[in-house]
Amino acid sequence: MSDFGPGGRLRGKDIPIDEIGYELDHQSDDGYAWVLLTLDLGFTEVEVQFDTDRAETFLVEFRDELVKAKRAQLEQQTNTDPSSGVAECDGGER
């Protein structure tokens, strides 16, 4: 399984997870197709099955959240005001 870290926490339990591995696969049978996502939490594996329509919806929503996170990270790294999109000047020469 590939590393997905840095990790997480199992909700409802006080169990930190240092690294999360994942594996993707697809299967089909009698005209029905699905995607399997297996998460390796170190002490157990969780398999999630999505039909193809649900998998597409998940990917779109995941990508939207990823874009928001990357934008926030970039704004912080460049000291940019999120409302105006203008980088704040650090007082140095331009």
* pLDDT surpassing 70 at residue 22: yes
> How many degrees, rounded to 5, is the angle at CA 39 between CA 20 and CA 48?
155
The more confidently predicted of residues 25 and 88 is 25
Cβ contact 20:40 at 8 Å: yes
**In the prediction, which pLDDT does 90 show?**
58
Give the mean pLDDT of 83-87.
Answer: 76
Band of residue 69 on the pLDDT scale cut at 50, 70, 90: very high
- Per cent of the chain over pLDDT 70 is 87
DSSP label of 88? P
Cα separation, 17 vs 61, whole angstroms = 24
User: Which structure tokens are listed for 12?
Assistant: 């409802």
The more confidently predicted of residues 92 and 66 is 66
